[in-house]
A and B are shown apart, each in its own frame.
Chain A
Amino acid sequence: KNEVEQSPQNLTAQEGEFITINCSYSVGISALHWLQQHPGGGIVSLFMLSSGKKKHGRLIATINIQEKHSSLHITASHPRDSAVYICAADTDKLIFGTGTRLQVFP
């Protein structure tokens, strides 16, 4: 079993829909990262959180330390949100989930 599990693996949505991506981890962490990767490979750090909830624009990330679970929500999804979203557990190194491929259609 992987130390960091993400679901779903693939997600298709219509523009405007509310999106949720889930991440569960089995290791002790100092923080949980959410990353976005567009075709071509570049990775952008979206959130780094160790408790509670963070919001940036239409993106919201939450974490439940007791349940070892984090979610990334996208409100009012847009085609430009199409990307791979990756969660990573921050131990003494980053341990990555396998990613969620999101496609948002107009």
Chain B
Amino acid sequence: RKEVEQDPGPFNVPEGATVAFNCTYSNSASQSFFWYRQDCRKEPKLLMSVYSSGNEDGRFTAQLNRASQYISLLIRDSKLSDSATYLCVPSTGGSYIPTFGRGTSLIVHP
């Protein structure tokens, strides 16, 4: 089983829409979680960190379900600039190395 599984998309939504991505992880020892966004041919940039049940930052909400081993990212009022690939990265600390999957592609259109 892959460490992280995400629907690759693309999710194609109009401006103003609400969109949610799910990410399932296999390592139950994962303690913290990070959502990164990556624009085409650019570096990944941290979007949100999740250390407990969830986190909210403006239009972005991340929720963690440890029992089911998934983490979701909700984007409200989508903007054109939200178009990117969203990467879910769980971490167990120690010598665990952050690994990136293919992520979920979001396209926000006018």
Partners in one complex: no
Q: Which residues of B line the A interface, CB within 8 A?
A: none
Q: Which residues of A line the B interface, CB within 8 A?
A: none
